[in-house]
Structures are given as C-alpha cells and as structure tokens.
C-alpha cells in the first residue's frame, strides 16, 4: 500500500477524550496505518507516494456512527432509499456500526433465520465498502431459542455485536441476561434499547432493566425517538458504567442534559454518538456532525471532546482499530475547516458556535476516498495534493 504524508496541519484532533488535541503539524501513513504523528521537522527522511499540504486546516479521526440500521448493500427499505451509507461517508463518517438489521422486509425471527441473517450481513459488509466506508454489519437481534452454540458459531463467522435488545422477542432482563453473557464470552459488544418504543414490537426499557441485563451500551439514552426521563438517565450515569449513546434521531434537550451531567460526574469517556437512522426521522447523512455541533455549542464540552465521543470513545467500546490518531491504528482520517461564511476562525471554533464544518478530504486506510464532500458546506481553505 502507498505511503502518505499530511503536512502543514493546523490542528490535530486526537479522538482521545483524555487528550483531545495533539501537538504537531504532520501525520505520516504507511501501509494503511498511522506511522508517525507530530512535527514534520522531527520525522527525518521519508519516502512518500502521496503528499497533501493541509494549508493549516484541521485533521480529525474518521467519525464512527455507533447506531445505524443497515440491511444488505447500500439500501434501506425503511425509507426506500439507495446510497445512504455512501452519503454518510461524505459527512466524515468512515465507520458505520449496525444496531440490528430490523428493517429487512420479512426478517426471520426463528433461531436459524436470525443467526443466518446476522452472519450474512456481517460477511457481506466485510466484502463491500460503500464509497470506501467500513460497515460492521450483522448485529444479531435476540430472539427466543438462540443457544450458546449459536453465539459461538456467529462469533466464529464474524458477527461482532448484539443489536438493540428489546427489538426482538427476547425482552425480559432475566432471559436477555443469559444471552448477553454468552455474547460477551465470545467477544461481542452488546447494545440495549432504552426509552420508549420505536417500532411495533419493541419495548419501553427502564434504567433498572438495563442495569439487570448488563449490556455494554445503553442505546439512545436521549431517545429513539422517545427519551427516558431525566431521573432514569441519572440512574444510568450514576449507578452503572454502561456506555451512554446520544443519537441524532432523539430528544435534543435530553442529549444536552445527559452530557452536562456526565461533565459533572467526570464520565465523558462513556458517551458515544450515533444516528439511529434510517428511521421514521429519515436518512441523516450529516447526523453525526450535527450531534457534535449540537453538543459543542450547547453544553460544557469542547468541539474536540465531542469529536472524541464520535470516534475514539465508540472505537473503544466496539474494540475497533480506528477512531484515534495515533501510531499503529488504521489511517481513517478527515480534513475539515471553517465553512465558507462562518464567523468561526477554524473548524473547532465554527463547531462551537453551532456551524457544521466543511469536510474536505477523507482517507480510509490511508487511501483518499473523498476529495470534496458533496454534503457539507464548502471549506474556507482547501488542502492541496502536491504529489
């Protein structure tokens, strides 16, 4: 694979919420992995196939959508739309995680069919990157009759997550908890619906039910689309260590209240960001960026911290080799800047006044997949490919 140098970077946002801004002006990529981060003057002699002059704009990790209801291919029957995943890439999202293929027409709900769908979706997205974006598909929905051997087989075949508990026939914590333990034993990350019902057949789920079931993620604590109460959210923050997901297709007030409480409790590392689309709200290509802007402009977090919630935090809970700008990780990188017309002086200040940044170049595994976003406003300053 090629060797890439990004130089003259204005700000490097790390994706690590404990240290969100890095010192340096350059990133060197080799064989699809980040090899060096820091000052170009300290890199020494480099061999480069491609060099990009970033012209002083901001570099961030590729964003991760922690909550997408994929089916198969780049199509959603929920909104009868094709190309929605590739369009999300143009919003800076380089990794998309399925929360369960629940919108498949005629979705099988017996154990054999449920297992087969999860394996099929996982394997198909291993071979298909819409526009270049990575998709972790095949999050299994818990249905009655699944066995420990089924979880072992799914894990062997590439299924890496349990979709939202509550969307299938397994709803009660006592029954779900057994399957959750099996899933975790085989390395899967477990999500659980929280709040009011979202689709026919789903359930209203409380904080006590989440605590008893013991998932890794409390999905859409700000609503999918209906939020838990503030008291229920407070229990999840203070009485558990579950990851807390904020989604675009939810309650905007509760998203702010959740984040501000997490600031007070010093648990920002637990917040992750998703779209929860496609849904009745629609397809939202810029949903992750919009949540970042919403939180950075209306709560007590910085733009760099909000970006970490949509990158490094999510990567950690899903055990991904991306989401942070550090040596050894996948070179999934996005160049962003102040959008034309904004009073922000750079991308981060624009985000903190609520303006969507302009997305310019996007790299996945060190390869450029987008040279100019078709969905965000144009950047004030353009990077230049030198070779």
pLDDT at 46: 93
Instruction: Tell whether 205 and 274 lie within a shared domain.
Output: yes
SS3 189: strand
Give dist(CA 344, CA 357) in Å, integer.
Answer: 9
pLDDT at 206: 82
Q: Residue 210 has what DSSP assignment?
A: H
- Look at residues 27, 48, 7, 17 and name the one whose alpha carbon lies nearest to residue 326: 27
SS3 365: coil
Give dist(CA 275, CA 278) in Å, integer.
Answer: 8
Give dist(CA 117, CA 111) in Å, integer.
Answer: 10
Say what percent of the chain tops pLDDT 70: 98
Instruction: Tell whether 157 and 248 lie within a shared domain.
Output: yes
Q: Residue 228 has what DSSP assignment?
A: P
Give dist(CA 236, CA 232) in Å, integer.
Answer: 7
Instruction: Tell whether 273 and 226 lie within a shared domain.
Output: yes
Report the chain's mean pLDDT, rounded to a whole number. Answer: 96
Instruction: Tell whether 350 and 223 lie within a shared domain.
Output: no
Instruction: Tell whether 285 and 366 lie within a shared domain.
Output: no
pLDDT at 273: 98
Which range among 12-26, 222-236, 343-357 shows the weakest confidence by mean pLDDT? 222-236
SS3 52: strand
Instruction: Tell whether 109 and 146 lie within a shared domain.
Output: yes
* Beta-bridge partner residues of 29: 4, 34
Instruction: Tell whether 286 and 331 lie within a shared domain.
Output: no
Instruction: Tell whether 202 and 346 lie within a shared domain.
Output: no
Q: How far apart are the first and last CA of the chain?
A: 16
pLDDT at 8: 98
Q: Domain holding 353: CATH number?
A: 2.30.40.10
- Look at residues 304, 363, 378 and name the one whose alpha carbon lies nearest to residue 329: 363
Q: Which one is predicted more confidently, 217 or 166?
A: 217
pLDDT at 2: 87
Q: How many Å is the Cα radius of gyration of the chain?
A: 20
Say yes or no to pLDDT of 74 above 70: yes
Domain boundary among 300, 318, 336: 318
Query: Residues 7-30: what's their mean pLDDT?
Result: 98
Query: Residues 29-54: what's their mean pLDDT?
Result: 96
pLDDT at 171: 87
Instruction: Tell whether 99 and 15 lie within a shared domain.
Output: no
Is 37 within 8 Å of 84 (Cβ atoms)?
no
Domain boundary among 318, 349, 373: 318
Q: Domain holding 92: CATH number?
A: 3.20.20.140
Instruction: Tell whether 31 and 111 lie within a shared domain.
Output: no
* Beta-bridge partner residues of 3: 30
Instruction: Tell whether 94 and 107 lie within a shared domain.
Output: yes
Split into its structural domains, the chain has a count of 2
What tokens does 130 get?
A: 């819409």
Residue-number span of the structural domain to which 43 is assigned = 3-61+325-386
Is 89 within 8 Å of 79 (Cβ atoms)?
no
Instruction: Tell whether 243 and 99 lie within a shared domain.
Output: yes
Confidence of residue 199 (pLDDT cuts 50, 70, 90): very low
pLDDT at 267: 98
Say yes or no to pLDDT of 381 above 60: yes
Domain boundary among 283, 298, 318: 318
SS3 346: coil
Alpha helices in the chain (DSSP H): 84-89, 111-126, 148-156, 173-185, 207-213, 230-239, 252-265, 287-298, 303-309, 312-318, 347-352
Say what percent of the chain tops pLDDT 90: 93
Say yes or no to pLDDT of 89 above 90: yes
């Amino acid at each position: 694979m090629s060797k890439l140098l990004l130089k003259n970077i204005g700000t490097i946002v790390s994706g690590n919420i404990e240290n969100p801004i890095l010192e340096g002006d350059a990133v060197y990529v080799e064989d699809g992995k980040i090899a060096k981060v820091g000052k170009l003057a300290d890199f020494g002699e480099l061999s480069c196939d491609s060099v990009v002059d970033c012209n002083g704009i901001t570099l961030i990790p590729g964003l991760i959508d922690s909550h997408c209801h994929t089916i198969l291919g780049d199509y959603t029957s929920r909104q009868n739309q094709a190309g929605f995943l590739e369009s999300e890439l143009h919003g800076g999202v380089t990794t998309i995680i399925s929360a369960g293929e629940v919108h498949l027409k005629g979705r099988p709900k017996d154990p054999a069919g449920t297992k087969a769908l999860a394996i099929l979706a996982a394997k198909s997205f291993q071979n298909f990157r819409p526009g270049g974006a990575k998709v972790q598909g095949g999050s299994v929905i818990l249905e009655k009759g699944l066995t420990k051997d089924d979880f072992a087989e799914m894990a062997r075949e590439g299924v890496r997550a349990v979709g939202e508990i509550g969307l299938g026939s397994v709803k009660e914590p006592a029954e779900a908890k057994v399957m959750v333990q099996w899933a975790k034993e085989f390395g899967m990350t477990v999500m659980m619906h929280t709040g009011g019902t979202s689709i026919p057949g789903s359930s209203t789920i409380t904080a006590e039910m989440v605590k008893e079931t013991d998932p890794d993620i409390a999905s859409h604590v700000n609503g999918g689309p209906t939020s838990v109460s503030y008291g229920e959210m407070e229990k999840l923050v203070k009485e558990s260590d579950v990851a807390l997901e904020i989604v675009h297709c939810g309650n905007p007030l509760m998203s702010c209240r959740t984040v501000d409480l997490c600031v007070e409790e010093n648990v920002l590392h637990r917040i992750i960001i998703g779209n929860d689309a496609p849904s009745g709200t629609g397809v939202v290509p810029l949903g992750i960026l919009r949540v970042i802007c919403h939180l950075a402009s209306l709560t007590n977090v910085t733009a760099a911290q909000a970006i970490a919630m949509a990158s490094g935090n999510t990567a950690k809970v899903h055990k991904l080799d991306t989401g942070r700008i550090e040596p050894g990780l996948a070179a999934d990188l996005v160049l962003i800047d102040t959008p034309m017309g904004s009073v922000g002086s750079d991308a981060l200040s624009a985000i903190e006044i609520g303006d969507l940044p302009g997305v310019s170049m996007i790299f996945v595994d060190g390869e450029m997949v987008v040279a100019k976003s078709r969905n965000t406003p144009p950047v004030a300053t353009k990077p230049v490919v030198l070779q």
